[in-house]
Structure 1
Amino acid sequence: YLITTTVHRRQAFLQGDAAAQVVLSSLQWLEAEKRMDLSAAVIMPDHVHFVLSLRTSSLAQLVHSFKSFTANKIYGLLSRRGQFWQEQYHDHAISKDEVLKDVVLYLLNNPVRAGLVKDFHDWPFWYCRWKV
């Protein structure tokens, strides 16, 4: 699956190192707990994209756990309260016709398309299981 979830009102709460690290370490924890296999992730200032394969949880349960934990942790860092993530998220089941590598490269190039960097390698908040 390709998952996209956005910060409430598209506020740029994920632009700092600490918040981005919470998101990335939370995804890696879910993988370590064998709830999913994480292929790639990119943390943008106001949203997150990640590619995963489910292992045990339902997709809804996994995303709910991720959003709940990261919201509490990041708002704790920011000394804020209230809704952090938009309630909905977008999921795209990667079909047999799609090549996982192409989906991952599209995801990783999000900061380039947003005009934040010229090469995604220069963006500090990304992860990929494979060398790219």
Structure 2
Amino acid sequence: MSNYRRYRIPGGTYFFTVNLLERHSNDLLVRHIDTLREVVKHTRKRWPFHIDAWVVLPDHLHCVWTLPEGDEDNANRWRVIKQAFSKALPATEKRSASRITRGERGIWQRRFWEHMITNEADYAAHIDYCHINPLKHGLVKHVNDWPYSTFHHYVALGLYPSDWSSDSGFLGVDEEWH
């Protein structure tokens, strides 16, 4: 079994990228956005974490989470989210022989990418990255047009203007910075 080394800090803040297995022309995440939201909500009840930023794109997502003090287990949270989302959908996807043998669905890539946030500049850069991503992928002409993002919450808090782009920069880190 592989032994992946991850930088783990109890109560740490992390940036994640999580991909669907089949990314080409796949809109599964936005098509089933309500299911994903419900799964995340239920997961947070049992294994709490603070959502600092989140963007859901058709075939992948990016987010920044802060874990509770003393807790470093983001991998279990992702396992629960991915499994619950997969179980909520009908089994129509293609599966490899190894996935069938392991009893796995063919929805998510097995791993996820994580980055430990190290300081306020790093935090701001990754929050910006989440919010600019729909524009970067050509899904919208203005960041404000993408509905599956915490960008609108940040605008409501006064941290971004509604016409923000990455050129204008993140306006500040609120009191919830950890």
Q: TM-score range by the shorter chain?
A: 0.7 to 0.9
- Which amino acid is 2:107 matched to? F
TM-score (norm 2): 0.63
Query: For the Cα contact (< 8 Å) 1:13–1:45, is it kept in 2?
Result: yes
Alpha-carbon displacement from aligned partner over 1:19-38 (angstroms, at most 9, x marks no partner) = 12222333334334452111
Matched position secondary structure for 2:62? strand
Q: Quote the Cα distance in structure 1 between the aligned partners of 2:74 and 2:133.
A: 23
Match of 1:90 among 113, 116, 121: 113
1:66 is matched with 81
1:47-67 alpha-carbon deviations (Å, 9 max, x no partner): 011110112461111111111
Which residue in 2 is equivalent to 1:37?
A: 50
SS in 1 for 2:22: helix
Select the structure with the greater relative contact order (CA < 8 A; seq sep ≥ 6): 1
Distance in 1 separating the partners of 2:34 and 2:72:
23
Structure 1 unaligned segments of length 5 or more: list them: none
Q: In 2, are the aligned partners of 1:6 and 1:89 still within 8 Å (CA)?
A: yes
The answer as to whether partners of 1:6 and 1:46 remain within 8 angstroms in 2 is yes
Corresponding residue SS for 1:2: strand
Q: Indicate the percent of aligned positions where both proteins have the same amino acid.
A: 22
Match of 1:70, SS state, is helix
Where is the helix percentage greater, Structure 1 or Structure 2?
1
More strand by share: 1
* Residue deviations 1:1-36 (CA, integer Å, cap 9, x gap): 1111111121331232xx122223333343344521
Change (3 A) 1:35 1:57: farther
Could you tell me whether the CA contact under 8 Å between 1:30 and 1:36 is conserved in 2? no
Single out whichever of 55-64 and 23-32 deviates more from structure 2: 23-32
- Give the 4+ runs in structure 1 shifted more than 4 A: none
Size of the alignment, in residue pairs? Answer: 127
Task: Give, in angstroms, the shift of residue 85 of structure 1.
Answer: 0.4
**Residue in 1 aligned with 2:136?**
113
With over 3 angstroms needed to count, the CA separation of the structure-2 counterparts of 1:124 and 1:44, relative to structure 1, is same
